[in-house]
């Protein structure tokens, strides 16, 4: 059984992190930002409160990259705003349907190869910084838009029915997007992590940026 965690962004408003801790949450994935340099307005507060309440965390970035070079820049911006914090869980790119709609609005066709290269560019930049990289996907997007080589290179944060994850392990499973947790008004993502602060072999999966 994996560690129980949540994922949150500015959509959850001011999270009462002491209550979240008392509810048994063992880790959090915090949205750091989206697109080209748009920082989530709750990220710094969430990161500080997680640290103060002893909740290890990682971060994710909603990508609107139209090309691999843009994804590398998004990763750089994500890492930059995280440099003041101890990051115990992976740094993740979320490139999904919202990303595709935005990129198409810019006149770019998102092919399977382009989507895969965008993830590789982001994750590669994260690994260059000495951090663990991860990508987020649901089953349909995973099958249609990402080449299988990503599963061999990076950790997967899988959203949806775990039985549809396909062959191979998943590092993290978002089993609900509409969970209820004490200390959070409205819905939050609920997750299980099968890698943790002390990952395989007892080594941390994240690092201080």
Residue 124: Cβ-neighbour burial (10 angstroms; 0-12, 13-18, 19+): middle
What would the pLDDT profile of 138-189 be if each residue is shown by its tens digit? 998 999 999 999 999 999 999 987 655 444 578 999 999 999 999 999 999 9
Long-range contacts of 96-102 (CB under 8 A, 24+ apart): 96/136, 96/137, 96/138, 96/141, 97/141, 98/62, 99/62, 99/63, 99/64, 99/65, 100/145, 102/35, 102/64
The token pair at 4 is 């129980």
- Burial of 118: CB neighbours in 10 Å, binned 0-12, 13-18, 19+: buried
What backbone torsions phi and psi does residue 193 show, to the nearest 5 degrees?
A: -105, 130
pTM surpassing 0.85? yes
- Assess contact for 27 and 205: CB atoms under 8 A: no
The pLDDT value given to residue 197: 56
**Structure confidence by residue, pLDDT tens digits, 13-53:** 999 999 999 999 999 999 999 999 899 999 999 999 999 99
Q: Yes or no: say if 97 and 115 are a contact pair by the CB < 8 Å rule.
A: no
CA distance 30 to 59: 5
pLDDT tens-digit map of 52-97: 999 999 999 999 999 999 999 999 999 999 999 999 999 999 999 9
For the chain, list the domains and their CATH numbers.
3-202 (3.20.20.80)
CB 109 within 8 A of CB 145: no
Residue 198 has what pLDDT? Answer: 33
| 201 has pLDDT over 70 | no
What is the residue whose two structure tokens read 């001011």?
Answer: 14
What is the C-alpha separation between 188 and 181, in angstroms, rounded?
7
CA torsion through residues 156, 157, 158, 163, sign: positive
Two tokens, residue 116: 């895969």
> Which residue do the tokens 């790119």 mark?
93
């Amino acid at each position: 059984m994996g560690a129980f965690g949540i994922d949150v962004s500015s959509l959850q408003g001011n999270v009462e992190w002491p209550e979240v801790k008392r509810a048994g949450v063992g880790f959090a994935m915090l949205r750091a930002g989206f697109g080209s340099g748009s920082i989530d307005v709750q990220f710094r507060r969430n990161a500080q409160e997680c640290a103060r309440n002893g909740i290890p965390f990682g971060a994710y970035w909603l990508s609107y990259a139209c090309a691999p070079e843009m994804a590398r820049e998004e990763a750089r911006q994500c890492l930059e705003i995280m440099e003041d914090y101890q990051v115990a869980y992976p740094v993740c790119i979320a490139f999904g349907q919202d990303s595709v709609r935005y990129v198409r609005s810019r006149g770019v066709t998102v092919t399977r190869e382009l989507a895969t290269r965008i993830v590789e560019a982001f994750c590669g930049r994260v690994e260059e910084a000495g951090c663990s990289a991860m990508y987020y996907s649901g089953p349909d997007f995973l099958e249609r838009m990402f080449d299988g080589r990503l599963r061999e290179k990076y950790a997967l944060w899988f959203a949806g029915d775990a039985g549809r994850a396909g062959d191979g392990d998943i590092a993290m499973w978002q089993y609900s997007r509409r969970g209820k947790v004490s200390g959070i008004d409205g819905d939050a993502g609920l997750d299980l992590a099968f890698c943790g602060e002390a990952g395989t072999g007892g080594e941390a999966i994240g690092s201080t940026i």
